[in-house]
Every structure is written in C-alpha cells, then in structure tokens.
Amino acid sequence: MTYSLVIDGWKRNIRFSAAHVLPGHEKCSRLHGHIYALNLNLEAENLPSSGMIMDFSVLTQALHNLTEKLDHKMLIPEKHPGVTINKKSVIMYIDEKHYQLPKEDCEMLPLETITAEQLAQYCLDELQKLIDIPNHITKITIGIDEGYGTQAQATINRG
C-alpha cells in the first residue's frame, strides 16, 4: 500500500511574489513577476509506529521559511554568465538588456536561469536542507505554481 501526504500551497497560504527574467524567451525575457504557490507531496510504502508519514506542522513551517526567503525579491540566476554581484548591487546583462538592482532586493539562486522547473528543483533541494526527511518516505515532489493551475514539479525517488 502507498500512503501520500499533500500540502496545497494555495489553500495553506504557502505563497510568494517574486520577479524574474527568462533569457532568450520571446515574451518572458521581459522583467515580470508571479504569485507563486509551493506545493508538496510525500509518499511512503509503510507508516512508522506514529501512523503518520510526517508531521504537517514541521513541513508547513519549513515551506513557509522557504517562501519567506523568496518573497518580494528579484530572483537572480547567479550561474548565468551575464550576472555580476558586488557589495551593493547585482548587474545583469540579459540578451540586449542591462539591469542594475540593489542587492538587498535580490535573492541569488544557484541556477543558470529561473524557470518554474528549475525553481521547483531549487525548492526541493532547500527543503531537504531545512528538515530531516525520514527514511520511510519513498518519494518527494515539490510543485511550483506560477499562478493557479500552472505547475512545474521536481521529484526525488528515495528507494
């Protein structure tokens, strides 16, 4: 039997607003933003003696901590070759455009670009740093919605 635990970011208010740029994309290469929702699905083949896959409150708090870090920020792909970061500002050369932003308004992410797919993978990696995932959990999926009904996911199978 497979057990599943699902947290819906829209219903649980696990959301953040952020801006980004997608280099080389016809429309999305313009500076724009989204109201993102962060969703989580855990699966387990069997349950521990507690009878729970994992405590909802621990997961919800970790997801809130993650969204708080990203909320009202310009998401910067620090691995993009056009990005330079100095003490006070972030400079981006994206396609034919030049942006200079205050560093405190930016969140640097270890990515080459900020797509929903890569943002989902980033959030999955960060969640695993924030909490210990018990061994009985066999699958972890993070979904990032760029608005209601549009989601990209990243999944780890653990066993």
| DSSP secondary structure string for all residues of 61-89 | HHHHHHHHHHTTEEEEETTSTTEEE-SSE
pLDDT(27) > 90: no
Distances (CA, A) of 154 to 82, 127, 144: 26, 12, 9
pTM, two decimals, is 0.94
CATH architecture for residues 3-72+115-157: 2-Layer Sandwich (3.30)
| Confidence label for 159 from pLDDT (cuts 50, 70 and 90) | confident
Answer with the residue of higher pLDDT: 26 or 40.
Answer: 40
Q: Given this model, what pLDDT does residue 31 score?
A: 87
Average pLDDT, the chain: 94
Q: Given this model, what pLDDT does residue 30 score?
A: 82
39, 146 contact by CB (below 8 A):
no
